[in-house]
Amino acid sequence: MKIFITGGTGNIGQYVSKALLEAGHELRLLTRTPDRVAELSGLPGVTPIEGNVLELERLEEGLTGCDAVIHIALGWGNDPYTMLMHDTRATVFMLEAAERHSVKKFIYTSSTAAMGPLDDGMDETRRLVPRTNYGGTKAASEAFLLAFNQYNDAQAVLGRKTGIKRNIIRPGYTFSNPAFENGASQSDKRFRHIAEAAVAGQDIIVSEYDGSQFLSSGQIAQLYLKLAESELDQEIFLALGTQWVSWAEIARLSIALVPGSTSKVVAPEGDAARPIAKYNVSKMERVFGLSFRGDEELREHIRWNIERAQQAAAGQQPHNAYHVW
């Protein structure tokens, strides 16, 4: 397939692009910074398109002639109107443009934030009750995506049906090392701060019962690949690890990976003892056979942050891997 990807050089996008290329697909990558991941942009089968999701004409140019669209990029806004104009508008425009240009498949990257507060066992059937502007724009885009079944010839007069297969992936907490040399990462600052403290021998303070079902970008990329190659339509998949890991555990592992570190974890007593609410991610395994714990990937990410912290402590300047809107 020829696939148009927004955010193809970002945190998740690098690994999605890599997985699709390895599977033999041809890619067009919309990126604000084509030189950011020069190794990816220069690979055979990759056509970089410089631009961002606010440039609607670039979006249409990129998807024209493609078989599928994978929309990963986020257009940020600090208030509801800006978020609407920067993110939801671009998603809806691209969806309709994809239909007009006979694109066969559209995969939208939403978020667990669209669902609202976490209840134990909640899955893809949960009613959306977002509590943030970010969650709101994701929920709104999901609604447009799933509702786009038919045009109207006039008010209340149904017209032709749409033919594009539309599916949604809702990532939770996703982390990654760069997929390519000098690539990007969107590592949570807490990973970096914990690593810096462990290297400096400082105590590490963590919040009570704070953690997540971490999933690496390399792992979530397998879900994108499976979904892109499937004939599914109007399906939603949560994309998280099966294991809940606390930040206290991450801090302890960070200290253990720094020989001679005198750091201590300052955490509330019993930080891992409280019953933890978790997302039910069984659909990903039931449909595609995908299930991820993420232990080794998480360890490698912690090690990557420690190595960077050690370089900085030695007076060296680590590569600036952080990739944000």
Is 226 inside a domain boundary? yes
Both 131 and 193 in a single domain? Answer: no
pLDDT of 106: 98
pLDDT of 185: 74
Both 305 and 178 in a single domain? Answer: yes
Is 320 inside a domain boundary? no
Both 113 and 224 in a single domain? Answer: yes
Q: Long-range pairs for 50-54 at CB < 8 Å and ≥24 separation?
A: 53/6, 53/86, 53/87, 53/90, 54/86, 54/90
Q: Long-range pairs for 317-324 at CB < 8 Å and ≥24 separation?
A: 319/182, 321/178, 321/182, 321/183, 321/184, 321/185, 321/187, 322/184, 322/185, 322/186, 322/187, 323/9, 323/10, 323/11, 323/33, 323/36, 323/184, 323/185, 323/186, 324/186
Both 116 and 259 in a single domain? Answer: no
Parts of the chain with a pLDDT under 50 = 325
Both 14 and 163 in a single domain? Answer: yes
Both 160 and 221 in a single domain? Answer: yes
pLDDT tens column, 177-199: 888 877 777 668 899 999 999 99
Both 107 and 30 in a single domain? Answer: yes
Is 324 inside a domain boundary? no
Is 139 inside a domain boundary? yes
pLDDT tens column, 206-261: 877 788 999 999 999 999 999 999 999 999 999 999 999 999 999 999 999 999 99
Both 15 and 110 in a single domain? Answer: yes
Is 282 inside a domain boundary? no
Is 18 inside a domain boundary? yes
Both 129 and 168 in a single domain? Answer: yes
Is 168 inside a domain boundary? yes
Which CATH number fits the domain that encloses residue 269?
3.90.25
Both 129 and 182 in a single domain? Answer: no
What's the total number of domains in the chain? Answer: 2
Q: Look up the pTM and report it.
A: 0.94
Both 10 and 133 in a single domain? Answer: yes
pLDDT of 323: 55
Both 121 and 149 in a single domain? Answer: yes
| Domain span including residue 74 | 2-172+217-239
